[in-house]
Structure 1
Amino acid sequence: MLQIYKIKDFFNRELGRDSNGYVAPKQYKESFSDIFLFICPYNKNICYIVSDDKQELSCGMDPFKWYVYSFGISYFDDKHIALSSIENGNFLTSTDTFQIIDNAKYIREWELFTLEAVSNIQNDYVLITFESICKFHIRYKELEKVFSYREKMSLVPGLLSSVRTLELSILKNICKYIMQDREWVEAICEYDKSIWGSLGLKALIQYINNKSDFTYNNIVDQKFDFLANEIVPPLGVDAARPVSPLEIILRTIRANVIPSKDFCILATARNEGIYLAEWIAYHKSIGFDGFFIYINDCQDNSKKILSEFQKNNIVKYYESFSQDGVNVQGKAYGHALTFVPEILDYRWVLIIDLDELFVFDKNRFNNLKDYFEYIEKKQVDSIAFDWINMGSNKQIEWYDVPYFERFSNEGFHESHKIKTAFRPHKAARSYPHFPIEFNNYSFIRRNSIGNLMLTRINEEIHGPHGKHVNDNPDPRFAVIYHYYFKSVEEFIWKSSRNRGDHPKSEKILDIAFNEDIAKAYIESFENENNETADILSFPRINKFAENFYLTYEKIISIPAIKYELDENHKFYRERFLLLLKDLRNNSGNMGSKQKYILDMLSHL
């Protein structure tokens, strides 16, 4: 007989599901669904809660939300228990303000709940779900013996209800059976029709089993906007937290895909068509063999340029459409690390922008593979590279010549910030400067010379965001050249694109070309900091010039690519002059530094 209960808190209030989907004490005149708690006889350390109206449930600050919600359970007598979060181990507290919170470290009176047995449930959904949980706990060690699709379907609710509570070794074994049997995939996705199944699990298994026939969709629309949520975990949380059981299965399978290639780059771009050929050619010439580029809201020719690059098997590009307020850069990284199977072919992914170039010490390492093999002598999942800001050489206008010829090859550490290469298989999200691993895993982070990465001091100051700052910068072996400032003309063009790591907005003057940013640009423009000039061991980009030009000439010799690049140059010049006109017309709302920058282009 199933052990099913109603739950009451310390104040003798019955718990239910509120209108927002959270477990909470029922309130008079408020809309609540009934919930039932089930204790499986095969594992009494875990309990499961289901609402009677087949709606998703969540609790406290946990982002996980699904039809069955599980807790750890502690027993005090036949009726009184304490419930603990699967996510963080904290005990649940029922407050006098009708809330359930999950932050108690110890059990006191408010952490105690009373079980009231229910003997005659008439709800088939609740009974079938709890029966499936029991079946799963009986059969999970022999899933390879489950042959019929009907039996698989009967086990799926139990599997998905329990997946969050399983040991990692057991979870990996179950995922192995799912990978090998398409009926399991079909049964799981039939039961849970969420995006994690239809666009995640199915696509991943299809790619693993038959790469040659895999077709990908390069449109990333608004249904993926949720990937911009909680990019960096809150204080006290070390990794990306799951939101559904299918996400756990998907990421467990992704984590165990064996890569066959070495190095790729993941980047986002908006209206940066004038840089695409140079940037791709440079990184291809030094050893990166894959490119995943996301564009959004482009008004230049970027889409057509990337389309031609893709036809020639040089890049994969994706076009993202998002609502206002969405962090489009974080969404793009989350999509690549969640819904793009091809990125798993690579051992390492480097996240940089179109104004950044990766440079390793050619005096010490023959090629990119030599460098990474040196770092891989120790266990490592993530490699941090110091961010070196390059000067503008006091240039006013853009012209079509590579970065490293137009600008200074000396620079300065930018606030000890870093960019990162990491193994994509166990990452769930990424900030522009560092990845966020899934919570079943823990990254070993090293700096560019192979020592353990130190961010403790900055994490104490900035919280989880402190991981983007190196406590002890060291520019040997490999760095990121950051051409943030460039010419005056390019600075204004960059400002018109907004900032990718900020919420999408059209308020350019408030966000990307405000008075403070204009002041910082002028200070850098007039007083270039060349602290790396006398460091003989600093990685020099000019060592790669010969290979770059060979690769670049090969790329632009492709007629279709050359045509789209030329068209983009025409567009850029026309669009920039229009932008300049609009800014001048709005100069009455600008500060003195903004006007000063516009005056530097008075000849245009």
Structure 2
Amino acid sequence: MRITAVTCVKNEGPFLLEWIAFNRLIGVTDHLFYSNDCTDGTDRLLDALAARGLCMHLPNPAEGRNYQMEALKAARRQDVVTEADWVWVADVDEFLNIHVGDHTIPALIDACGDPRAISVTFQFFANDGVSSFVDKPVIEQFHRSHNPDLWCGETAIEVKSLVRHDFPLQYYGAHRPFQKGKAKPVWTDGSGRKVQHKFLVAANPRRIRRFPAHGARDFATLNHYALRSLDSYLVKNDRGDVNRENRAFDDTYWRERNDPAWEDKSIQRYVPDLRKALAELKKDKEIKALHEECVALHMAKRDTLLARP
């Protein structure tokens, strides 16, 4: 089964190897990265990975400033997407935590009955007092989140989606596909239940990319590490949004996502294999050196920001 992950990045260098290694563990076979305006070595590391066949790296084609949507439009023309059995549109701070079978995407697809799309609910993982950036797997460091059924008083929580090659696609959205005309493909949540009709046809403006989270995560959860360490959040705040211009990561964004009410270590089932996969990638001296350059530039940016009044 060929599964392609598509993502947009800007200054995510220290986190690239973990995301790629993790995705490969769960069954992703191909990665398509679009990058823009990188200053931390992200683009150089991706070029080196691409030269080794570990990903495809392209400059973001955006002519305006809606980076993600223009990249997703361009992605539809790439062989790595058109020849895939499934496409997974996600960000580098999002990890698909699969609870069934051998904990891979094929096992999730099988559990859901092989639908044409699967939308998996976010679980936002808190900073939980982690101040310093350290170069170790993110999924190993953060294990507290909001109540998975409730976030900021909302019972409906955002999703990201796996899309099968024969989905009647009009276009890829960042959170879900949009279908042509009145098509009603078989489409499930992360428990294998059919998604609500109003979500399927995008009829409810408040719920275009979300639906009630209760009962929707039996087979999979999307662990979203939007904050990471305080150091990394500071750097992210300075960078701004990868996907669209003029969106700030401010203290409100932080407060909403830094809710440590719930402990969930289930994703750590992947950590032993992830460590081995990362060590294997770093056996390549150039890849290891470029990763370490990204780490150093990330920390240097933190130091520059902390020196400001």
Q: Name the TM tier (shorter chain).
A: 0.7 to 0.9
Instruction: Name the structure where helix makes up a greater proportion of residues.
Output: 1
CA contact (8 A) 2:62 2:71 kept: no
Number of residue-to-residue matches in the alignment = 301
1:436 paired with 2:178, answer yes
2:195 to 453, 456, 465: 453
1:374 to 104, 111, 118: 111
CA contact (8 A) 1:297 1:321 kept: no
Q: Distance in 1 between matches of 2:3 and 2:137?
A: 23
| Structure 2 runs not aligned, ≥5 long | none
CA contact (8 A) 1:356 1:483 kept: yes
1:468 paired with 2:209, answer yes
1:497 paired with 2:239, answer yes
Q: Which amino acid aligns with 2:96?
A: F
Q: CA deviation at 1:265?
A: 0.9
2:272 to 540, 546, 561: 546
Q: CA deviation at 1:389?
A: 0.8
- Secondary structure of the residue aligned to 2:192 is coil
Q: CA deviation at 1:428?
A: 4.0
Q: CA deviation at 1:455?
A: 5.7
1:356 to 82, 91, 94: 94
Q: Which residue matches 1:330?
A: 69
Q: Distance in 2 between matches of 1:424 and 1:550?
A: 32
- The TM-score normalised by the length of structure 1 is 0.46
Higher relative contact order (CA 8 A, sep 6+): 2
Q: CA deviation at 1:330?
A: 0.7
1:390 paired with 2:122, answer no
Q: CA deviation at 1:523?
A: 6.0
CA contact (8 A) 1:293 1:316 kept: yes
Q: Which residue matches 2:3?
A: 263
Q: CA deviation at 1:368?
A: 3.1
Q: Distance in 2 between matches of 1:405 and 1:441?
A: 41
Q: Which amino acid aligns with 1:453?
A: V
Alpha-carbon spacing, 1:376–1:490, altered in 2? closer, same or farther (3 Å): same
Q: CA deviation at 1:424?
A: 4.4
Alpha-carbon spacing, 1:299–1:434, altered in 2? closer, same or farther (3 Å): same
- Secondary structure of the residue aligned to 1:265 is strand
Q: Distance in 1 between matches of 2:112 and 2:72?
A: 24
CA contact (8 A) 1:334 1:429 kept: yes
Q: Distance in 2 between matches of 1:481 and 1:359?
A: 6
1:301 paired with 2:37, answer no
Q: Which residue matches 2:56?
A: 316
Q: Distance in 2 between matches of 1:498 and 1:524?
A: 17
Q: Distance in 2 between matches of 1:371 and 1:309?
A: 28
- The TM-score normalised by the length of structure 2 is 0.87
Q: Which residue matches 1:512?
A: 248
Alpha-carbon spacing, 1:275–1:445, altered in 2? closer, same or farther (3 Å): same
- Secondary structure of the residue aligned to 1:470 is strand
Q: Distance in 2 between matches of 1:454 and 1:350?
A: 21
Q: CA deviation at 1:439?
A: 4.3
1:528 to 225, 243, 260: 260
**Percent identity of the aligned residues?**
18
Q: Distance in 1 between matches of 2:55 and 2:199?
A: 38
CA contact (8 A) 1:381 1:443 kept: yes
Q: Distance in 2 between matches of 1:499 and 1:458?
A: 27
Q: CA deviation at 1:316?
A: 0.7
Residue deviations 1:545-583 (CA, integer Å, cap 9, x gap):
2221221111111111111111222222222322344xx
Residue deviations 1:25-80 (CA, integer Å, cap 9, x gap):
xxxxxxxxxxxxxxxxxxxxxxxxxxxxxxxxxxxxxxxxxxxxxxxxxxxxxxxx
CA contact (8 A) 2:4 2:80 kept: no
Q: Distance in 2 between matches of 1:556 and 1:500?
A: 26
Q: Distance in 2 between matches of 1:411 and 1:455?
A: 27
CA contact (8 A) 1:268 1:332 kept: yes
Q: Which amino acid aligns with 1:359?
A: N
Alpha-carbon spacing, 1:492–1:334, altered in 2? closer, same or farther (3 Å): same
CA contact (8 A) 2:199 2:208 kept: no
Q: CA deviation at 1:399?
A: 0.8
CA contact (8 A) 2:21 2:278 kept: yes
1:479 to 221, 227, 234: 221
| Structure 1 runs not aligned, ≥5 long | 1-260, 506-510, 534-538, 586-604
Q: CA deviation at 1:312?
A: 1.4
CA contact (8 A) 1:458 1:469 kept: no
CA contact (8 A) 2:158 2:210 kept: yes
Tell which structure's C-alpha radius of gyration is larger.
Answer: 1
Residue deviations 1:298-332 (CA, integer Å, cap 9, x gap):
11101110111111111111111544x52101111
Q: CA deviation at 1:457?
A: 7.6
Q: CA deviation at 1:336?
A: 0.6
What does residue range 63-102 of structure 1 map to in structure 2 within 5 Å? none
Q: Distance in 1 between matches of 2:192 and 2:256?
A: 34
Residue deviations 1:440-474 (CA, integer Å, cap 9, x gap):
955332111221101628989852x6231113542
Q: CA deviation at 1:400?
A: 0.5
Q: Distance in 1 between matches of 2:301 and 2:58?
A: 23
1:346 to 78, 81, 84: 84
Q: Distance in 2 between matches of 1:460 and 1:336?
A: 22
CA contact (8 A) 2:235 2:301 kept: no
Cα-Cα RMSD: 2.6
Q: CA deviation at 1:348?
A: 0.9
